[in-house]
Amino acid sequence: MDDHPLTCTPETDVNEVRRMMLEHHVRYLPPVMEKRVLMGVISFYDVAKAVVEEQGFENRMLKAYIRDWPQEEKEQHQEAR
């Protein structure tokens, strides 16, 4: 047992959680604490899933942006290549 385990809060950014887990070589971040109440446990799978979902969302937004790009700008962009 660790008398000072790594902890985070529900507001901790997923990238910070990922950094903590990688830095300390842990697959689980045992206590997710809010004040002094245990809220849950985060696994590396949970973090990886959140990152993949975030990247998928950004990918869809970028594709939508490119698809909706005004025609004149598309032609100028293609001519520049």
| 8: in domain | no
Helices (H), the chain: 14-23, 44-67, 71-80
Q: How many domains, the chain?
A: 1
| 24: in domain | yes
Q: Domain of residue 66: give its range.
A: 14-80
The tokens describing 38, both together, are 């245990």
| 21: in domain | yes
Query: What pTM value is reported for the model?
Result: 0.61
Residue 20: pLDDT band by 50, 70, 90 thresholds? very high
| 29: in domain | yes
| 7: in domain | no
As to burial, measured by CB atoms within 10 angstroms (0-12 exposed, 13-18 middle, 19+ buried), residue 32 is: middle
Distance of CA 54 to the CA centre of its chain: 6
Residue 32: pLDDT band by 50, 70, 90 thresholds? confident
